[in-house]
Structure 1
Amino acid sequence: MNTEDKDWLMRQVRAFATGLGALLSKDSLRDFLEYKHYDSAIITDDDLDALIVYAQFQRLAEARQLSAADLAAASGIAADRLAAFTKGTALPTTAEQRQMQEFLDHAAE
């Protein structure tokens, strides 16, 4: 699969994760990919983990109506990286996923 196809597929999965994926597990997203006859090896479990935690993070930020600057300050993630996640041009690193999870955990308290 070429890079354009993978990018398109990642955008589709990101849209799905943003909509329902925050409520679904990684296995459910993997089942969706296989149901749609995509080569599920194209998207790794790490990619799915990143998409799920970002979808939950984004949902909370929208619910609290946080500005990009406030979200960057509260989460400790650089504003340009948050913008890249929103545009779909980057996935959170493991460290950024950890920061997002800490933000989510703190918000739940």
Structure 2
Amino acid sequence: MIVEVITGADEVPEVRVADVEDLGRLHLALGALTDADGDRALRAAGLGRLEDGTGFLDVAALRAAAEREARSPDWGGRFDAMVTSAADAGWAADDGASLRAHVEPAASA
């Protein structure tokens, strides 16, 4: 699953969740934006934040955003398994409500 923060219409950053069926990976893709702009966009969308170059994605908000696009009947269970696996691997944030995510350039950047 990918959370993309890209420059949208009128150069306003847009946040969207993509590849929701691929729960074997989770990362944050930033387009041609500063970290500050990416952070503001994530916070405004309610999906997370950027801190010192690390992405933090809110689990409940991510689930709500991605679930609308999911098509597999077992998606909810697979999402829960992804979150558990990430937490077991040390990717849970200190707040317990979010996961750390790799930050990569967006394909559309």
Fold-level similarity (TM above 0.5): no
Query: Is the radius of gyration larger for structure 1 or structure 2?
Result: 1
Q: TM-score, normalised by structure 1?
A: 0.30
- Which is richer in strand? 2
- Which is richer in helix? 1
Q: TM-score, normalised by structure 2?
A: 0.30
Higher relative contact order (CA 8 A, sep 6+): 2
